[in-house]
Amino acid sequence: MYIKVVEYMRNASLAKGWSNQIRSLFHLDTVQYAQCQMCPATRVVIEESNAEMAIHPSATFDAAIRTYFYDTIDMHCDTCRVHEQSHWTRREIVAGPQYLKIRINLFGGRMVMGDEGLEYQGIKIPHSMPIHEVLDLTQYQEVPTLPLRYKIHSVISHSDPIYSGHYVCSTKGQGNDITCISDTHKEPFNLQSLLQSPQRPTITGQKDVYVLTYVRDDGVLTDAQKALKKLL
């Protein structure tokens, strides 16, 4: 639903001349490079502007974030002239949004043998990966002159199997009060409960953390950084 709302706003903004504002609010602009592991050849693979970061569950939140920015891929190398050559990939942030959505890939799939041969089967990938209150992405910027930091604002979590189950949302409100919302039921949360993985609200069962929303908060800037930010 979040993606649909942002996409609707983006399409509407094209006619009204404020698409750049929408992009600066919600879109993470990145560029991805690939370097051949057998030669120094490096090239741009793709430039993207996405309304979310999709990460895979890992042992730690830091490891999951790092894998989003650094990975490996098999692709053709024009220099080596090898069709399937292993490459290191590096994704760099060109511009970070005011509101950053991170989706943990809680749902996946696999091929299984069915009555009529191979069939696709959806699976859920539960995890217990703790999340951070403060997310610092400064080091992943293309030009890390200014800090790029975010603070957690809300968490959507899910319980039960892939094709059913229930979602709840835990979110900060006025005065940074935190509330867990499940349909018409509400429960006060503290910061520890918000960051806990899995979440354990008393009004419903244990929930796997699924979607995170962070709000940009660069903290205290130096005078030089403040002056530079005014120029951007």
Domain boundaries, the chain: 27-218
Q: Give the pLDDT band of residue 32 (cuts 50, 70, 90).
A: very high
Q: Give the pLDDT band of residue 10 (cuts 50, 70, 90).
A: low
Rounded-to-integer distance, Cα 80 and Cα 94, Å = 29
Q: Does residue 188 have a cis peptide bond before it, meaning omega lies within 30 degrees of 0?
A: no
Residue 1, pLDDT > 60, answer: no
Q: Which two tokens stand for residue 187?
A: 């429960």
For the segment 184-211, what is each residue's pLDDT rounded down to a tens digit? 999 999 999 999 999 999 988 889 999 9
Residue 2: predicted pLDDT = 63
Residue 37: count other Cβ atoms within 10 Å of its Cβ: 12
Residue 4: predicted pLDDT = 62
Mean pLDDT of 82-95: 88
Percent of the chain at pLDDT exceeding 70: 91
User: C-alpha 118: how far from its chain's center?
Assistant: 32
Rounded-to-integer distance, Cα 171 and Cα 64, Å = 22
Rounded-to-integer distance, Cα 28 and Cα 48, Å = 8
Rounded-to-integer distance, Cα 81 and Cα 185, Å = 61
For the segment 149-168, what is each residue's pLDDT rounded down to a tens digit? 999 999 999 988 887 789 99
Residue 3: predicted pLDDT = 65
State the pairing for strand pair 53-55/99-104: parallel
Question: May I ask the CATH architecture of the domain 27-218?
Answer: Alpha-Beta Complex (3.90)
Please name the residues in contact with 30: beta carbons below 8 A apart, sequence gap of 6 or more. Answer: 47, 48, 49, 50, 91, 92, 93, 94
Residue 51: count other Cβ atoms within 10 Å of its Cβ: 23
Residue 156: predicted pLDDT = 96
Residue 209: predicted pLDDT = 96
For tokens 């979310």, the residue is 52
Residue 108: predicted pLDDT = 83
What is the residue-averaged pLDDT of the chain?
A: 87
Residue 127: predicted pLDDT = 92
Of 111-120, 131-140, 162-171, minimum mean pLDDT range: 111-120
Residue 118, pLDDT > 70, answer: yes
Please name the residues in contact with 21: beta carbons below 8 A apart, sequence gap of 6 or more. Answer: 13
Residue 92: predicted pLDDT = 97
Rounded-to-integer distance, Cα 167 and Cα 137, Å = 28
For the segment 37-71, what is each residue's pLDDT rounded down to a tens digit? 888 888 898 999 999 999 999 999 999 999 999 99
